[in-house]
Structure 1
Amino acid sequence: MNTDDLVRAAQDKTGLTEFGDDWFREPLKVLVDSLNTEAKLSEFGAELTRRRLTALLVDRLRLRALQREHPEIAEVEVDVAAEICGLPRTGSTLLHRLLAASPRLTSTLSWETGYPIPFPGEGPDAGERKRRAQARSKMFLELSPEFADIHTIEWDGPEEDVILVDRSFVSMSFDSFYWVPGYGDWLRAADQVPAYRELREWLQVLRWQDPSRQGRRWVLKSPHHLTAVDTVLDTFPDAVIVMTHRSPVSAVPSYASMVATMCAQHSESVDRPALGRYWSARFATTLREFASARRERPERFCDVRFSDMLDDPAGQARRVLGALGLTPDAADDAAFTEYLARNRAERQGGHKHSYTAEDFGLSAEQLERDFAFYTEVYL
């Protein structure tokens, strides 16, 4: 793949040429170089990836065109109440979907993170985008049928806002879907301020399209935000970071298993021990850096333990609402009850997500030792 070819393909597809600030070209080049030299893409995986990167560039072009056509979007208020983060596989998805059910909160939805801008001639019901999102979810599960046992897919449900950040090419999504450790190293040292500035712009676009979000605050979620804690707090000055906690002895191998499943869509060669070592080292570094950022603004954080989410998910959601300055009421309780009932029904008949630390070149002893600095404080 070649970055210039990808850029030209996006311009040819849209008839648009203006990307605005070209800062994104550096992360795109780093990513493409890493995909070319490290990812061991299959022929099918390379074609999927080329299409994906082109589509992300198309959305950048269409975003700028929409902003030029509707300058009022720049005046849309973005009120983020919470960014849920923590290591992956720590109960953050359940907490996110529960909080998003509150009538006073809103979240990015799966279909709109995939297709955030209306297609020409599309009505306010977003029918074409929803149709494509359903088809994409179906194809994803056909490529990785076991993924549903790891993470529940809801094409029309709350989804991670980091998928919007993918269009900046500064995102944990990429080293989760591909073996690109060179890109991952670059990402850890990158200035993410421009990417979060663009995340705010995407939230403006989504709010502008949906008047029902008037008066509702955003609750967002992604483990990616652990890599840019100070930037999150500066970009969204009223947001609380809700940190979910689970023993890395369980969380790290679980995520390595999830990543291996996603990488197998694009490569016929997935080195599971290498994945395990990469994510174990990366998360240890990320948590150390997170602790340093947290010490500077401790009042902006709220903690939720995985075990507490399992024991009383609605109770934890109520507690977090309180931390956001919202008093839980009967409407919140009803929404939580309804979501939990639906979630239990969807999970019935599913298979257990099976993995061991040893599958990924790790051991419980090593993980306990490497993450002791974290577990001694939060677990």
Structure 2
Amino acid sequence: MTLDVDDLLGKAAAKTGLTEFGDDWFREPLEVLVASLNTEADLSAFGLELTRRRLIALLENRLRLRALQREHPEMLDLDVRVAAEICGLPRTGSTLLHRLLASSPQVTSTLSWEVAYPIPFPGEGQDAAERKRRAQERMRMLSGLPADFGDIHTVVWDGPEEDVILLDRTFVSMSFDTFYWVPGYGDWLRAADQSKAYNELRQWLQVLQWQDPSRANRPWVLKSPHHLTAADTVLDTFGDCKIVMTHRSPVNAVPSFASMVRAMSSQYSESIDPVQIGQYWSRRFAATLRGFGAARAARPERFVDVQFADTVSSPIAVARRVLGELGLHPDAADDAAFEAYLERNRAERHGSHSYAPQDFGLSEEQLTRDFAFYTEAYL
């Protein structure tokens, strides 16, 4: 059994009773992804079924998005202001910084339940009760993942979460080669023009603003390492946006992320090779950071730097500084929100995350050498 694009499209249409996917540009990334899943991912029977359901659900969301836009064309006129996209190598403190900044009453952010279920179900009220119920079930499922996934990345169903999950519906997303061994898709992604995907990200943010008008006067603070692959596109799509880049030694960040990838991908395949994973992501991140440097050099005024050590040791001071660099003015209400979040964060954390470069075919010497261009510039 393999995945088939036409079959996936047909099943999504049958389940929704809808047929209008909009511009079919998304077929290319979907076809590249499906080809990699069929030939590289070595999916287990269970993993194949999970993946089939996931891809159909994403296609259903595309159909429902177009239907909602036809029914409420006014949402397409909503102004989306993105103050910041937080990015950097994974495992560099970006999650802590994102959730801390998102607690500020001056900004808004994508929440876990709504990136998973961004469109109201038929008959659902404004309380989004059904979507929130499903999100809580999803969180319980994630808590059962192997390799202490909850110790690596804490999931809170009603807390801030990465906007890349909205990009999943474009099939242009780092999510896929994080969850699956699909290096062919990853190579395609690094070379792809992502402008149409980011235009759709703007549309998804319009959908969320339309459902919650209180967001109209609060800019978005978003986060995902995916944005490292498309810095110019981010800045072109969101004219007021700054990229907040979190920095940590790749000697720590790369094997930590490889450990997370191993934990996530093991639910889809029984033949996960940690050495393959480590070497793939080491090469990929080095290439990504080299390309990212050119985008940064062209528009240095639109970048804000944050060191991992500072985020850990002085999180509120860092949050106040970043808000200021975004043109916002932190006040007592922000400080109270930051303190309240840090208290929650201490309660949400489950344990420590253990890993070593050698577990993934890496060494401190090799990582130091391969990322010297980055550490010399930013650390």
| Alpha-carbon distance, 1:123 to partner | 0.1
Residues 60-80 of structure 1 deviation map (CA, whole Å, 9 limit, x = unaligned): 000000000000001111010
| Mapped pair 1:22 → 2:20 | no
Q: TM-score, normalization: structure 2?
A: 0.99
| Mapped pair 1:268 → 2:270 | yes
Please give the residue correspondences for 1:1-379 in structure 2 after superposition, counting only pairs within 5 Å.
1-144=3-146, 146-347=148-349, 350-379=350-379
| Alpha-carbon distance, 1:327 to partner | 1.3
| Alpha-carbon distance, 1:344 to partner | 1.1
| Alpha-carbon distance, 1:139 to partner | 1.1
Residues 68-117 of structure 1 deviation map (CA, whole Å, 9 limit, x = unaligned): 00000011110100000000000000000011000010000000000000
How far apart, CA to CA, are the structure 2 residues paired with 1:226 and 1:211?
A: 30
Tell me, what secondary structure is at the counterpart of 1:105?
coil
Tell me, what secondary structure is at the counterpart of 1:142?
coil
Q: Which structure 1 residue ranges, 4+ long, deviate > 2 Å from structure 2?
A: none
How far apart, CA to CA, are the structure 1 residues paired with 2:314 and 2:115?
A: 29
Residues 3-44 of structure 1 deviation map (CA, whole Å, 9 limit, x = unaligned): 000000000000000001000001000000000000010000
Q: Which amino acid in the other structure matches residue 152 of structure 2? A: I
How far apart, CA to CA, are the structure 2 residues paired with 1:214 and 1:194?
A: 24
How far apart, CA to CA, are the structure 2 residues paired with 1:351 and 1:336?
A: 22
How far apart, CA to CA, are the structure 1 residues paired with 2:220 and 2:145?
A: 32
How far apart, CA to CA, are the structure 1 residues paired with 2:306 and 2:144?
A: 34
How far apart, CA to CA, are the structure 2 residues paired with 1:235 and 1:20?
A: 20
Q: Which amino acid in the other structure matches residue 74 of structure 2? A: E
Q: Which amino acid in the other structure matches residue 377 of structure 1? A: A
| Alpha-carbon distance, 1:136 to partner | 1.1
Structure 2: tracts of 5 or more residues without a match? none
Tell me, what secondary structure is at the counterpart of 2:239?
coil
How far apart, CA to CA, are the structure 1 residues paired with 2:368 and 2:144?
A: 36
Tell me, what secondary structure is at the counterpart of 2:86?
strand
Tell me, what secondary structure is at the counterpart of 1:143?
coil
How far apart, CA to CA, are the structure 1 residues paired with 2:43 and 2:78?
A: 41
| Alpha-carbon distance, 1:371 to partner | 0.1
| Alpha-carbon distance, 1:144 to partner | 3.0
How far apart, CA to CA, are the structure 1 residues paired with 2:111 and 2:146?
A: 21
Residues 337-358 of structure 1 deviation map (CA, whole Å, 9 limit, x = unaligned): 00001111222xx332111000
Residues 282-330 of structure 1 deviation map (CA, whole Å, 9 limit, x = unaligned): 0000000001110000000000000000110011000000100111100
Q: Which amino acid in the other structure matches residue 83 of structure 2? A: A
Tell me, what secondary structure is at the counterpart of 1:107?
coil
How far apart, CA to CA, are the structure 2 residues paired with 1:326 and 1:112?
A: 25
Aligned length: 377
Instruction: Tell me, yes or no, if the aligned pair for 2:97 and 2:319 is still in contact at 8 Å.
Output: yes
How far apart, CA to CA, are the structure 1 residues paired with 2:158 and 2:48?
A: 28
Residues 122-169 of structure 1 deviation map (CA, whole Å, 9 limit, x = unaligned): 000000000001111111222336101101110110000000000000
Residues 165-187 of structure 1 deviation map (CA, whole Å, 9 limit, x = unaligned): 00000000000000000000000
Percent sequence identity over aligned pairs:
73
How far apart, CA to CA, are the structure 1 residues paired with 2:144 and 2:152?
A: 14
Tell me, what secondary structure is at the counterpart of 1:82?
strand
Tell me, what secondary structure is at the counterpart of 1:243?
strand
| Alpha-carbon distance, 1:211 to partner | 1.8
Instruction: Tell me, yes or no, if the aligned pair for 2:145 and 2:263 is still in contact at 8 Å.
Output: no
How far apart, CA to CA, are the structure 2 residues paired with 1:30 and 1:376?
A: 36
Instruction: Tell me, yes or no, if the aligned pair for 2:209 and 2:215 is still in contact at 8 Å.
Output: yes
Instruction: Tell me, yes or no, if the aligned pair for 2:145 and 2:264 is still in contact at 8 Å.
Output: no
Structure 1: tracts of 5 or more residues without a match? none
| Alpha-carbon distance, 1:45 to partner | 0.4
Q: CA RMSD in A?
A: 0.7
How far apart, CA to CA, are the structure 2 residues paired with 1:203 and 1:248?
A: 32
| Alpha-carbon distance, 1:214 to partner | 2.6
Residues 250-295 of structure 1 deviation map (CA, whole Å, 9 limit, x = unaligned): 0000000000000001000100000000000000000000011100
How far apart, CA to CA, are the structure 1 residues paired with 2:45 and 2:348?
A: 35
How far apart, CA to CA, are the structure 2 residues paired with 1:346 and 1:8?
A: 41
